[in-house]
Chains A and B, each alone.
Chain A
């Protein structure tokens, strides 16, 4: 599996606290990768490092097989949509397309113009008067017009209302289907990611808690309900992510690649959101069993 973003021991410190510390992860190519984690997990810092907007304090980061973009040729292969989708308020929609055309050698004007037409944006309108959803769409158009190999979106829908959010993601999916590109998008809204991502990375406290194709993750996580039992007595292949116990009953979220055969358990499917939350809770609470090292197992 080739990686579009590969980091080793990556760290970034602004003044005192580390925004990202000792982060090692690999983002595979050809996927729509969701980067999910609580606020302060280092998602935004990681993506800004990947876009070359920040320099790492420690460690290394490779993007599309080279160092984080610093020269025009590398930047041309990367589309970046920053948090809150910044655009120039005083410039019109058409000006933004001109900006894209002037600053990017690989600019696809017809793609950009078609998108603006489809979105029903008035080319003469000042970007400052656009709605939040329209502004995000304009910023996405700028990023897609570069014809990038990798599109990075930092919390693209966080500030949008539910309708605009859905439209934006749908639009993003269409663009991904048309262009052959890898996508990384961060969010703390798991429901949104579920709709568009086929690969998930859960980042908590700079650490990858779990990573893998969404389908595989769903297939290997099970919710077990049965008589109360000490999680330590489970078979070796079953890794407990979270558990809750009443006097007589245990409910465990386990990860295992083999089927659960013990008839004492009632096995049920688990949703992506519950699964992600379990990993976040696991990271937040005191170590139950093993809390890290998952990313090594997933890279099969």
Chain B
């Protein structure tokens, strides 16, 4: 049975190898120069106050490189969707559409073996291709990620490790996405039995899940840590002041925790309660050249931050991967069960 699955899968396998090869050549051609830029930027040995070095490195990564950067991230993120739509959805649906399932199911093998091999071979290939893209891209983009970790926010798209797109494109989560996308496509095909509608449904559901995950589910997976930053010298963020002494702070990154995922930040008093109106004593200071911060600090006001430290990066990666793999297994199991029953 593996032979037939392989023979049917061969065109897709060839295509994906070609894509992988093209991607590898592109990255191999541009990667060394990027690495040398990083080496000469002084970021590698930087111990403290590295923001400047990071910003200057990122400033020199220009022209062609941001394009490759975007292309790579898009490739890794879109691969699971493409796989689900073009490998998963037609896999079984096409057999129903053309009637070939009647040919396959009357050979001397069990239907269970037929389904199992159809799920296993392209499914593992989906994982391998996506994770392969991610690893290659991860190697290429490591200097940029390193710099972004230090100077989070100074590069487009907030390229910290928890950045919306960066998190999806690195680590082990692409494995989960690929397995889920593929299994989702197969299941849609099994239920709808027509390739085109199954492809459309796969795309719609996969996109919805991929939007819901980072926005609603991922932030809730681990409880955030809380800290209060003093309004001291290194304050980096945005400060707003309004009429009647109202004010607020938004922190871009956390000192001592570069790359942390900041869920929320705002002014708090010494007891940790949020405040939005500054003490009357500081209102006059606010109009002075030095600004109100010294005054606010003397009144015990700081910036309360709830965040996910970078130490949570890998636990979060594995948890999310686990969720997607579990979903993929449930879908694959459902398809297996559904086809195992005798159907027209």
**A and B: real partners?**
yes
B112 to chain A, nearest CB (A): 10
From A75, A88, A95, contact of B107 by CB (8 A): A75
**Known contacts A87-B100, A90-B8; A103 and B344 CB within 8 A of each other:** no
What number of B residues sit within 8 Å (CB to CB) of A?
Answer: 22
**Known contacts A86-B98, A90-B11, A102-B3; A142 and B103 CB within 8 A of each other:** yes
**Residues of chain B contacted by A72 (CB below 8 angstroms):** 108-110
A75 and B98 within 8 A (CB): no
**Residues of chain B contacted by A121 (CB below 8 angstroms):** none
**Residues of chain A contacted by B1 (CB below 8 angstroms):** 102-103
A104 and B108 within 8 A (CB): yes
Which of A77-85, A217-225, A265-273 touches B?
A77-85
**Residues of chain B contacted by A146 (CB below 8 angstroms):** 107-108
A27 to chain B, nearest CB (A): 17
Tell me which residues from 71 to 123 in chain B have a Cβ below 8 Å from any Cβ of chain A. 98-100, 102-110
**Known contacts A53-B342, A82-B99, A90-B11; A104 and B106 CB within 8 A of each other:** no
What string of 1s and 0s marks CB contacts (under 8 Å) between B170-181 and chain A? 000000000000
Tell me which residues from 144 to 200 in chain A have a Cβ below 8 Å from any Cβ of chain B. 146
**Residues of chain B contacted by A11 (CB below 8 angstroms):** none
CA distance A79 to B99 in the complex (A): 16
A144 to chain B, nearest CB (A): 13
**Residues of chain B contacted by A111 (CB below 8 angstroms):** none
From A55, A98, A105, contact of B108 by CB (8 A): A105
A48 to chain B, nearest CB (A): 7
CA distance A98 to B4 in the complex (A): 9
Q: Give the residue name and chain of the B residue nearest to A100 (CB).
A: B107
What number of A residues sit within 8 Å (CB to CB) of B?
Answer: 39
CA distance A91 to B98 in the complex (A): 13
**Residues of chain A contacted by B100 (CB below 8 angstroms):** 86-88
Q: Give the residue name and chain of the A residue nearest to B343 (CB).
A: A54
B106 and A86 within 8 A (CB): no
A291 to chain B, nearest CB (A): 29
A4 interfacial by beta-carbon distance below 8 Å: no
B109 and A103 within 8 A (CB): yes
Q: Give the residue name and chain of the B residue nearest to A68 (CB).
A: B342
A91 and B342 within 8 A (CB): no
CA distance A299 to B77 in the complex (A): 67
A16 to chain B, nearest CB (A): 15
CA distance A71 to B11 in the complex (A): 31
Tell me which residues from 33 to 91 in chain A have a Cβ below 8 Å from any Cβ of chain B. 48, 51-55, 69-73, 75-76, 78-80, 82-84, 86-91
From B7, B107, B108, B344, contact of A48 by CB (8 A): B344
CA distance A71 to B106 in the complex (A): 10
Q: Give the residue name and chain of the B residue nearest to A12 (CB).
A: B344
Residues of chain B whose beta carbon lies under 8 Å from any beta carbon of chain A: 1, 3-4, 7-8, 11, 98-100, 102-110, 341-344
A-B contact pairs, 10 of them (CB 8 A): A53-B106, A55-B341, A72-B110, A76-B108, A88-B98, A88-B100, A89-B98, A103-B108, A104-B108, A142-B103
